[in-house]
């Protein structure tokens, strides 16, 4: 148990809305098929990734002092070098605050939170700002409606600090597993050494998001339930003890499967229909929406959960 607290969150959804009905003809699918995916609309970025990040970050920081560390937990890079934390720091006007990136695809925010919990616990830092800002829309493959229909743009941020005196707030546990058998189920295969962008095989689809949805779903059904049960057992709790379940917003279909883990719909934070899959930003966006809707109070047991390319899953439990 690590005595830490999330002292602020921030949220940014671009103003521009793109509905399933608008997107359907561009993907060559019917409006009926499009609405069956479970994403009625998504936002489309009109600002840069660091600008979006900074809006969410400023809200999370509130009137408090600057952070002593920025962790960028986004999958969308601004460019390959330097890492995107630098551009977010620049946008925020910071001049000597350290920044780096944690990349665990859709789980980046959750992994960053687990790192931040230990970094706060050890005294390495006192006020860590984690930001996820994603512009996935530029990487949509319009020849692959199944994935292109899911993706949206957005940003969110959180500030992590030591728990206040007398507070029960704590990071109670975290578990992650990676199964490389799913490495190619969800990918953007360009930008690296495998298919170097200047190499002879490089092509446009290398830079677009590719997903084999059925394989992802099959591997999820096989891996998630035992991992989830083991996590609960180790924490000595049951599903009913959890006050709110905040999962990565992968797909409309995926959101429904969480009910199979035993959560009533009312305990699941579900924003996929309104914002789509905003990659690593989805989870902190859902957290912020839940807080703003007063669905979390101090002392609540909050569970975070995600599945990401790799494939990896992660579960975390927090006393709010």
Specify whether the CB–CB gap between 316 and 110 falls below 8 A.
Answer: yes
Angle between helices 49-61 and 85-92 (to 10 degrees): 60
Q: Considering the complex, state which of residue 87 and residue 245 has its C-beta at the smaller distance from a copy of itself.
A: 87
CB of 124 to a copy of itself, least distance (A): 5
Q: Considering the complex, state which of residue 34 and residue 281 has its C-beta at the smaller distance from a copy of itself.
A: 281
CB of 77 to a copy of itself, least distance (A): 4
What is the SS3 string spanning 202-245?
CCHHHHCCEECHHHHHHHHHHHHHHHHHHHHHHHCCCHHHCCEE
Q: Considering the complex, state which of residue 189 and residue 253 has its C-beta at the smaller distance from a copy of itself.
A: 189
In sequence order, which residues have a C-beta less than 8 Å from that of residue 243 and are 6 or more positions away? 267, 296, 300, 301, 302
CB of 30 to a copy of itself, least distance (A): 27
CB of 111 to a copy of itself, least distance (A): 5
Specify whether the CB–CB gap between 289 and 230 falls below 8 A.
Answer: no
Q: Considering the complex, state which of residue 70 and residue 272 has its C-beta at the smaller distance from a copy of itself.
A: 70
CB of 222 to a copy of itself, least distance (A): 12
Closest CA to 269 of 244, 242, 251: 244
Q: Considering the complex, state which of residue 68 and residue 274 has its C-beta at the smaller distance from a copy of itself.
A: 68
């Amino acid at each position: 148990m690590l005595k830490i607290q999330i002292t602020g969150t921030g949220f940014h959804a671009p103003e521009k809305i793109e509905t399933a009905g608008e997107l359907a003809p561009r993907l060559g699918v019917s409006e009926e098929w499009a609405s069956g995916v479970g994403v009625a609309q998504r936002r489309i970025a009109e600002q840069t990734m660091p600008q979006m990040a900074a809006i969410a970050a400023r809200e999370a920081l509130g009137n408090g002092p600057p952070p002593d560390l920025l962790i960028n937990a986004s999958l969308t890079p601004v460019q390959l070098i330097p890492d995107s934390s630098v551009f977010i720091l620049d946008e925020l006007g910071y001049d000597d605050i350290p920044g780096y990136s944690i990349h665990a695809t859709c789980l980046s925010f959750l992994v960053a939170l687990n790192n931040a919990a230990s970094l706060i616990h050890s005294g390495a830092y006192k006020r860590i700002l984690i930001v996820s800002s994603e512009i996935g829309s530029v990487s949509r493959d319009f020849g692959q409606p199944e994935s292109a229909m899911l993706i949206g743009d957005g940003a969110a941020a959180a500030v992590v600090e030591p728990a206040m005196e007398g507070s029960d707030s704590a990071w109670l546990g975290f578990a992650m597993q990676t199964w490389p058998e799913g490495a190619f189920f969800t990918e953007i295969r360009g930008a690296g050494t495998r298919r170097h962008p200047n190499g002879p095989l490089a092509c446009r689809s290398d830079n677009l998001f590719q997903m084999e949805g059925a394989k992802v779903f099959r591997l999820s059904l096989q891996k998630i339930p035992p991992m989830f049960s083991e996590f609960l057992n180790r924490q000595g709790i049951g599903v009913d003890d959890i006050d709110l379940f905040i999962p990565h917003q992968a797909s409309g279909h995926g959101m429904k499967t969480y009910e199979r883990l035993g959560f009533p719909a009312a305990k699941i934070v579900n924003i996929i229909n309104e914002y789509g899959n905003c990659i690593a930003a989805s989870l902190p966006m859902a957290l912020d929406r839940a807080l703003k809707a007063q669905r979390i109070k101090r002392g609540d047991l909050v569970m975070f959960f995600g599945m990401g390319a790799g494939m990896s899953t992660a579960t975390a439990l927090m006393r709010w």
